[in-house]
Amino acid sequence: MKIKHFLMAIPMLAIISCNRDIYVPNQVNAPLLKEKNEFKANLSLSNWQAAYAVSDNIAIMVNGQYVSRAFWFDNDDNDNNDDLFVDKNTRGGLLEGGVGFFKALDTKQRAVFDVYAGYGNGAFKTLEGAYSSAPSGTSKLDYQLRTQFHKFFVQPSFGLSHKVVEAAFTPRFSIVKFYNQTMGTKAFENDTQRRDNFLRLGDKAVPFFEPAFTVRVGYRYVKFHAQLMFSVPMNDETYSGYDVNDYFQPVSFQTGVSLNFGDWVKKSGKR
């Protein structure tokens, strides 16, 4: 899918959104490290991230995600699923790791460039839309959609790292290969084309462009963390003309806490 088509579609998605998400992109880990032995962690309700600088320019990262919307939505079995951009029935997540290069770009070490590459594996499940009109007592397993996936990613970041404010732009590129798609006996029962369409998700790897905008505000060791991210499938061949948000969550907004432990952070308190 061309990116400009996705951007043009966003206003319509806000009106007709009816997601069945079996891929929810995890939060982008944009650590903006700038010295050896610096450690940073980001914690939110559904994402947990850590990065550590093993040398003056090389770092490793580990990221975890678990999505469960039960906290935000009630558990009525046949409740409608028309919330903006969000499939309330989605459950699942992933684990991933990566290695990268980082470098401060100015003498005061405030502007930072880094780039990471890595691999992850995960799984998601949700309920097909017809479940909302199924008779009371119907088993959710009859309408369940489930898939597993491999994920490869590359993400450059450009940002500012200061003891009070941090900001970063990270255009992440991910390649996701779905496998082991399964569905309940009644899922897409009256739509064979849609049924075949879901089973074909694993035919080819799906590339995603996932730009993220990250802001952290606080003081020294602890900061409030917020991130807005878009997830744009760059090839709609595998889902044959259906809306871009049929299987993939297109927009994500995350908030949480960021912890930073490094020598430059300690020294910043003495200035």
In a domain, 157, yes or no: yes
Mean pLDDT of 52-56: 95
Phi/psi for 199 (5° steps) reads: -65, -25
In a domain, 210, yes or no: yes
The number of domains in the chain is: 1
Work out the mean pLDDT of the chain and round it to a whole number.
Answer: 83
Residues 179-206 have pLDDT tens digits of 999 999 888 888 888 888 888 888 889 9
In a domain, 10, yes or no: no
Residues 221-265 have pLDDT tens digits of 899 999 999 998 887 554 445 544 578 888 999 999 999 887 766
Q: Which of 102, 106, 93, 120 is nearest to 51 (CA)?
A: 102
In a domain, 121, yes or no: yes
Q: Which domain holds residue 221?
A: 38-71+79-269
In a domain, 18, yes or no: no
In a domain, 20, yes or no: no
The span from the CA of 167 to the CA of 32, in Å, is 9
The span from the CA of 217 to the CA of 197, in Å, is 44
In a domain, 31, yes or no: no
Residue 206 near residue 152 (C-beta atoms within 8 A): no
In a domain, 85, yes or no: yes
Residue 93 near residue 66 (C-beta atoms within 8 A): yes
- Residue 240 is part of a domain; what is its CATH number? 2.40.128
